[in-house]
């Protein structure tokens, strides 16, 4: 099993999640983070840390977010690991909860 970063992280990218992960499985892109499913040990620590409530267990993915499981796996192979919190984008709050952010994902 793994945890998955879903759509609401896009353009919010608070990075609170990376501070608590004991196995450094977060990878970072320009405006989104993903979890490497091969590294995640299902400790559950990151899920409550995300201010945008973007992290879910793969078994509890909200309707319409199922494809983020494969997207996390794919992008984790391409993006570098992030282990330290970084400042969120200045407009992160404005993007929190906005629908259809997948088209804004930068790779
Ligand atoms: Fe890391 Fe635990 Fe979150 Fe998996 S569930 S990404 S191991 S903090
Ligand atoms: Fe994204 Fe939430 Fe982490 S917005 S960077 S999953 S704290």
Q: Which domains does the chain carry?
A: 3-83 (3.30.70.20)
**CA distance linking residue 87 with residue 4, whole number of Å:** 21
The finding on whether 10 has its CB within 6 A of some atom of ligand 2 is no
- Give Cα 26 distance to the centre of its chain: 8
From 10, 12, 72, mutation site for ligand 2 pocket: most ligand atoms within 8 A of C-beta:
12
Question: Tens digits of per-residue pLDDT, 82-102?
Answer: 999 999 999 999 999 999 999
Could you read off the pLDDT of 41-56 as tens digits, one per residue? 999 999 999 999 999 9
């Amino acid at each position: 099993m793994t945890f998955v970063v879903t759509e609401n992280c896009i353009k919010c990218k608070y990075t609170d999640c990376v501070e608590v992960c004991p196995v450094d499985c977060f990878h970072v892109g320009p405006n989104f983070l993903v979890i490497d499913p091969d590294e995640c040990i299902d400790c559950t620590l990151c899920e409550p840390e995300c201010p945008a409530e973007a992290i879910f267990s793969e078994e509890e993915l909200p309707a319409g977010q199922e494809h983020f499981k494969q997207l996390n796996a794919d992008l984790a192979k391409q993006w570098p690991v992030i282990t330290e919190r970084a400042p969120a984008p200045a407009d992160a709050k404005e993007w929190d909860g906005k629908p259809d952010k997948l088209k804004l994902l930068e790779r």
